[in-house]
Structure 1
Amino acid sequence: MPEFTSRRGLLFGAAAVSAGAVLTGCTSNESKDDDSSEDNKQAVADDKPGKEVTIGFAGPQADHGWLNAINDNAKERAKKYKDVTLEATEGSNDTAAQIGQVETLINKKVDVLVILPADGKALTQVGLKAMKAGIPVVNLDRIFASAQAYRCWIGGDNYGMGLNAGHYIGEKLKGKKNAKVIELAGLDNLELTKQRTKGFDDALKNYSNIEKVARQAAEFTVESGQSKMSQLLQAQKNFDALWNHDDDQGVGALRAIKQAGRDDFLMVGGAGALSAFEEIKQDRGVLKATVLYPPTMAASAIDLARALGQGKGISGMSEFEIPSSVTLYSAVVDKDNVDQYMSTGFK
């Protein structure tokens, strides 16, 4: 099969026209009717060494526990595969610097790119450039402005985070009359924060006995979490539950709560930090659960990139190609299942 057809022609715009037909054509011309299962196995990526793949990884600056975990998950996953070489850039939150880093990876002719953009809209053009050059892009979490800029998107479900946090709190308070809840959000200028709040509000609509009486935006940092939580505690003398969007800022929120001597409500966190898991496991404070936004998505992005580089699909699915998008589930972790998730907690 000509190189133009198998790579550039399929990737640019053929992210929209799935590569399945081509893969089927390449792998099944010699197949026999009674041997289709073997052909399917060959078309699915597994842990056995196969075609060597160089993956370029352009991640964020690790200035937050979750972002650091993204970088660690990608690098550790790549080490698992003998057929994968990872070309990782120095993480950056500066869009111009990150664009330059991705362009360097394009010039190196890596086989696949995994990009968590500092700004999805700002990096869309360099994603398009990679796709036009025949380099498939796995867009991690912060989405590009055009679906033509990536072959596959994988990320978390911000609306689902809020929805599941709201339902967990709702079920805990459904027998209480005139229940009151408050919300410690993240940065209000981010779409993800708006989605988390919308999901939370939509869930609470199912519980007529619950009213959200206060909301305060923090900045995803320990310091802001402590400061904003102190303000909420001073303004709200009586409430039954708190949802905090982010476990990093939750460290500060818990400090403020302990300093205020408050233990008269339940708290639900967000993201899945190790410190939150440990606090939940001890079950001695207000933090009773956290809703995941798993940084393991970066490890899965490497799996998807490897499958793309080898022209294969993924195990557990019938298709000969990877999906165009994967939205992760925001599971609720509490004392009943925290041991299961402890190894995924980030510092």
Structure 2
Amino acid sequence: MPQRSGLLRATGAVAAVTLLATACTGNEPATEEDTGGTQPVSSNDDPGQEVVIGFSGPEADHGWLAAINSAAVAEAENYEDIDLRVAEGTNDPSMQISHIETFINDDVDAIVLLPTDGAALTKVATQAMEAGIPVVNVDREFSSEFAARTTILGDNYGMGVSAGTYACDLVEENDLGGDAVITEIAGIDSLPLTQDRSDGFSDALSECDQDVDHRVAGEFTVESGEQAASNLLQAVPEIDIVWNHDDDQGVGVKAAFDNANRDEFFFIGGAGSANAMRWIQEGEMEATVLYPPTQAADGIRLARLLAQEKGMSDLVQVEVPRRIVLNAPVVTEDNVEEYLPLAFES
């Protein structure tokens, strides 16, 4: 088990803009006019009892994961009543287990955990819950309902649905009809998240009598994206729509398009990187579907509420929900300015 020195205490002023698809708190106390004459006792954002929150995430070897980690730290800095303990990011489940054991031994007030492997971290997360420490599970689910007090997730199936619905709109708006050639560049096919994204895409396309004509898969890396896209372009001489699951992978995908001098198609991305949003602004990409990099930041807010025994001020229910699934909106030239502050660098 690593010593306490192996945990990094989040310090320093960090600025961040986070968007909660499910709002947890209000920034300003409501007025009597706002509430129809009733004044709440306090706002959830008002400083309360100090709480110690342990945060553990995977190694930031991918732009989205780096954004997840940095947004969590930045969000904690917004609250003077949060003492955030950050474990070193790792892709080793055994090391992450030891980090959680340290949090348990330190008797933190709450834990926010994006597990390297949900099944592998289930046992130690359950131990934390049994020790009376609420666990907020982020993005990759545990294999037991007893391992977390609250789970906050992106919507992988919803990403596919959003991409497919937008593709249907493009087919209609551009009179592509039944002859539209729609292609898909997936991530790692063995992962459930990839399967969910593909299922959602296919299901949405079926609503407008379309389907995926050609599909290739990468590995969520720049190199694999370039190779997969090159293979696709060689196999298909004319394409109408391309959906690429991941914007980090999309750096390589876009390079393949440029190298082949191919731009006859509408290019849709996934996740919401800064690169993708700049391409949208420059007219080199049609859209990207957001997979929110704010999930761990949202988890920090929820952990604070749980540790302080508060609920979510925008709900009538007095407790934090057990499960929250964030939206997967489509970012286009019409709304890119709104989402650009949330974008991550690849």
TM range (shorter): 0.7 to 0.9
- Report how far residue 315 of structure 1 moved: 2.0
Correspondence 1:309 to 2:307: yes
Residue ranges of structure 2 left out of the alignment (5+ in a row): 1-36
2:219 partner SS = coil
Correspondence 1:240 to 2:240: yes
2:213 partner SS = strand
Question: Hey, what's the Cα distance between the residues in 2 that align with 1:63 and 1:111?
Answer: 29
Correspondence 1:113 to 2:114: no
* Alignment-mate amino acid for residue 82 of structure 2: V
Q: 325, 337, 340: which is aligned to 1:339?
A: 337
Provide the residue aligned with 1:229 in structure 2: 229
Question: Hey, what's the Cα distance between the residues in 2 that align with 1:211 and 1:195?
Answer: 16
Q: Tell me, yes or no, if the aligned pair for 2:202 and 2:211 is still in contact at 8 Å.
A: no
1:145 partner SS = coil
After superposition, the C-alpha distances for 1:233-269 in whole angstroms (9 at most, x for unaligned) are: 0001112000000000001000000110001100110
TM-score, structure 2 as length reference: 0.87
Question: Hey, what's the Cα distance between the residues in 1 that align with 2:212 and 2:326?
Answer: 27
Change (3 A) 1:107 1:37: farther
Correspondence 1:193 to 2:194: yes
Q: 147, 169, 172: which is aligned to 2:170?
A: 172
* Alignment-mate amino acid for residue 105 of structure 1: F
* Alignment-mate amino acid for residue 224 of structure 1: S
- Report how far residue 297 of structure 1 moved: 1.3
1:122 partner SS = helix
Question: Hey, what's the Cα distance between the residues in 1 that align with 2:181 and 2:205?
Answer: 11
Provide the residue aligned with 1:293 in structure 2: 291
Question: Hey, what's the Cα distance between the residues in 1 that align with 2:38 and 2:86?
Answer: 37
Provide the residue aligned with 1:30 in structure 2: none
Provide the residue aligned with 1:135 in structure 2: 133
2:226 partner SS = helix
Instruction: Provide the alpha-carbon RMSD of the alignment.
Output: 1.2
Provide the residue aligned with 2:325 in structure 1: 327
* Alignment-mate amino acid for residue 192 of structure 1: L
2:141 partner SS = coil
Question: Hey, what's the Cα distance between the residues in 2 that align with 1:241 and 1:202?
Answer: 16
Question: Hey, what's the Cα distance between the residues in 1 that align with 2:38 and 2:314?
Answer: 13
After superposition, the C-alpha distances for 1:150-182 in whole angstroms (9 at most, x for unaligned) are: 000001000000000000011101221211101
* Alignment-mate amino acid for residue 55 of structure 1: I
TM-score, structure 1 as length reference: 0.86
Correspondence 1:149 to 2:147: yes
Greater share of helix: 1
Correspondence 1:92 to 2:60: no
Question: How many pairs are equivalent?
Answer: 306
Percent identical pairs in the alignment equals 49
Stretches (4+) displaced over 4 A: none
* Alignment-mate amino acid for residue 195 of structure 1: D
After superposition, the C-alpha distances for 1:12-43 in whole angstroms (9 at most, x for unaligned) are: xxxxxxxxxxxxxxxxxxxxxxxx966x645x
Provide the residue aligned with 2:57 in structure 1: 59
* Alignment-mate amino acid for residue 291 of structure 1: V
Larger Rg: 1
